[in-house]
Amino acid sequence: MLETVILIVFAMIGLSLLLNIWRLLVGPSVPDRILALDTMYINSIALIILYGMSMGTALYYEAALLIAMLGFVSTVAVCKYLLRGDIIE
């Protein structure tokens, strides 16, 4: 049963990644695109965790943690650049 559920959740997260890509391409303003990229980072963490569960190995945990940190830092850096025109003042 768990394999089927993992497949269904894979499909759900893939669909939400597609919706994020639509917002990234269409999004009328720059903050919309930043928001779509941030959501894509979080959804890719979910994909990596699910892949580790379907393979039965906990090796992918570090990759998920790294992607979480990089996503947060890049979102804050781009927002800071939009706000002040500079990242580290």
Partner 1 sequence: MTEWIISILLLIGGTFVLVGSIGLVKMPDFFMRLHGPTKATTLGMAALLTAAMIFFSTTQAGVSVKEILISLFLLLTAPISAYMMIKSAIHHKLDSIDRTQGKNNVEDEA
Q: Can you give the binding site for partner 1, defined by CB under 8 A? A: 1-2, 5-6, 8-9, 12-13, 15-17, 19-20, 22-23, 29-32, 34-36, 38-39, 42-43, 45-46, 49-50, 52-53, 56, 58, 61, 64-65, 68-69, 72, 75-76, 79-80, 82-84
Structure tokens at 48: 């990596």
Helix axes 61-84, 30-55, angle to 10 degrees: 180
We find the least distance from the C-beta atom of residue 54 to partner 1, in angstroms, to be: 10
**Read out DSSP for 7-22?**
HHHHHHHHHHHHHHHH
We find the least distance from the C-beta atom of residue 76 to partner 1, in angstroms, to be: 5
We find the least distance from the C-beta atom of residue 88 to partner 1, in angstroms, to be: 15
CA distance 18 to 53: 22
CA distance 78 to 32: 12
CB-nearer residue toward partner 1: 32 or 88: 32
